[in-house]
Amino acid sequence: MQTGKIIDHIVKWLKDYAVQNSYIKGFTVGISNGIDSSVVSTLCARTGLPLLALELPINLSKTKENRKSIHVEWLKNKYGNDQIRSMNINLTEAYSKLKETCTRLQSNDKTELALANVQSRIRMTTLYYFAQVNGHLVVGTGNKVEDYGVGFFTKYGDGGVDINPIGDLLKSEVRALARELDIDQSIINAPPTDGLYGDMRTDEAQIEATYDELEWAMKQYETKYDSEQMTEREKKVMNIYSQRHQANTHKMKEIPICIIPKEFKQLT
């Protein structure tokens, strides 16, 4: 893979998009301190346009909350405080009040997942507030296998963005870009996590397959594969991928619209 050319292509794509839309003054990116958001924020920084990096913790311990982001500090040192601005906005109180209101009215076996998605949607709302007041675009951080393979994102949460520069890159390809961009090795090596659960369970623990396995399954799914030639583990991974892909297809498509026949609209 020609990582340098891919980086240049994405940076040019971001700049061209901004130039074509004169109202765009810069980019806003949610920073999770994971590899995807680190790569995306760096690509945005390389355009030379203003970047607002937002850390949006919910229910973090005081130790983690006060810890400086390695990546944000690196961005500022590399590109300067004039171009890179950052904020750490604790959303715990906002989330807690909404959680209390909702669970008081109804709670069942789906509550945990619903509340995890609420966290993601509160972050999305915050990103759009600051993007709008700064004339920015909200830039997505979802990769190809995550967003368009298994649909491992929150609808109208981290899936609610204006543009997605790495949506055509697999997780392994994002890692290659991270190395080329000189992203901190601790970020590259860190187990991916959505950070929506108190126990910080990893993406791969939730999905029950590694991203490398999912990339393999995605390629198999898009071709005529023979399950008889697969190992038991490969069959299990294919089953995980196909079930998640089919269940989350609604996230990847436009909202269905009921089309009214023209004759029904004609005046009688």
Token digits of residue 119 = 């966290």
User: For 85-134, what is each residue's pLDDT tens digit?
Assistant: 999 999 999 999 999 999 999 999 999 999 999 999 999 999 999 999 99
**pTM for this structure?**
0.91
Q: Which residues contact 113 (CB under 8 A, 6 or more apart)?
A: none
Residue 252 has a pLDDT of: 87
Question: CB–CB of 14/27 below 8 Å?
Answer: yes
What average pLDDT does the segment 226-232 reach?
Answer: 89
59: left (phi over 0), alpha (psi -120 to 50) or beta: left
DSSP-assigned beta bridge partners for residue 86: 53
Superfamily name with CATH number, domain 3-205: HUPs (3.40.50.620)
Phi, psi (degrees; rounded to nearest 5) at 72: -65, -45
For the chain, the structural domain boundaries read 3-205
Token digits of residue 193 = 């996590």
Residue 63 has a pLDDT of: 40
DSSP-assigned beta bridge partners for residue 179: none
Q: To the nearest 10°, the Cα dihedral for 90, 94, 96, 97? A: 160
Band of pLDDT at residue 62, cut at 50, 70 and 90: very low
